């Protein structure tokens, strides 16, 4: 478990470092400015990127604390290892594909390929919703075999970790929905920044899930 926490801290520190480096670069969506807006455009991306970086740092600390509690609770005698549903592997694949699809969409957006924005965003949303639905089905599979929230600490932590991760994905889907609505309305310039930030957030939550999933199936 200690190794898992070190991996989580190292992985997320590397991601946050990459994000901070991006904040010093000129963003593609503000590289071209008009005379009327040249005093505003260079600062369009900075505050939102800093806000996202702060949010990711808070989420990192939050999950690190929960995993620390997981490690401490696991050492007590009443801990019974939980056999996670095999469906979680399928769910993981859906989240990997969602992250990859959003990265592809982001790359197309940076090349100003407007025709790929809406299809890419819709496919990302479909795969992400599929992941969440799969997580709910996994919960149902556990309860059907008698593993309830109060059955054992291992089951309680499973519901806690997967539930909190799912809530963070729902928050990302709210931003995704707004970006998709803008893209459907043809506001491609305004949506590029949202796609960029959503991509960072999706990659982040994918990495968090991989750590959580890896720890749960190994303990």
54 secondary structure, DSSP code: H
- State the burial class of residue 144 (Cβ atoms within 10 Å of its Cβ: 0-12, 13-18, 19+): exposed
Helix (H) or strand (E) holding 90, with range, is helix 87-110
Q: Calculate ∠ Cα 58-206-165, nearest 5°.
A: 55
Each residue's pLDDT expressed in tens, for the chain with a length of 219 residues: 555 556 555 655 665 565 555 544 434 333 343 444 333 333 344 677 778 888 888 888 888 888 888 888 887 777 888 888 999 999 999 999 999 999 999 888 888 777 788 899 999 999 999 999 999 999 999 999 888 888 788 888 999 999 999 999 999 999 899 889 888 887 667 788 888 889 989 999 999 999 898 888 877
By C-alpha distance, which of 4, 1, 159 is closest to 82? Answer: 159
Is the entire prediction scored with pTM above 0.85? no
Show the beta-strand stretches assigned E in the chain.
none
Domains, the chain, ranges and CATH? 2-218 (1.20.120.80)
What end-to-end distance do the CA atoms of the chain give, in Å? 8
Radius of gyration of the chain (CA): 19
Report the Cα 39 to chain-centroid distance in Å. Answer: 33
């Amino acid at each position: 478990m200690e190794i898992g926490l070190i991996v989580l801290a190292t992985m997320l520190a590397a991601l946050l470092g990459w994000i901070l480096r991006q904040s010093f670069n000129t963003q593609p969506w503000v590289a071209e400015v008009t005379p009327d807006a040249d005093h505003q455009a260079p600062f369009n991306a900075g505050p939102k990127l800093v806000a996202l970086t702060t949010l990711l740092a808070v989420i990192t600390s939050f999950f690190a604390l929960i995993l620390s509690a997981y490690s401490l609770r696991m050492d007590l005698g009443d801990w019974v290892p939980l056999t996670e549903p095999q469906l979680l592997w399928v769910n993981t694949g859906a989240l990997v594909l969602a992250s990859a699809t959003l990265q592809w969409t982001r790359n197309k957006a940076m090349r100003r390929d407007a025709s790929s924005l809406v299809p890419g965003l819709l496919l990302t949303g479909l795969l992400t919703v599929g992941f969440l639905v799969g997580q709910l089905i996994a919960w149902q599979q556990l309860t059907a075999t008698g593993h309830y929230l109060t059955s054992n600490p291992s089951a309680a932590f499973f519901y806690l970790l997967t539930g909190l991760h799912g809530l963070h994905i729902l928050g990302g889907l709210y931003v995704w929905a707004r970006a998709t609505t803008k893209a459907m309305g043809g506001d491609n310039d305004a949506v590029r920044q949202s796609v960029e930030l959503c991509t960072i957030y999706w990659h982040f939550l994918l990495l968090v899930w991989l750590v959580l999933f890896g720890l749960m199936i190994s303990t």
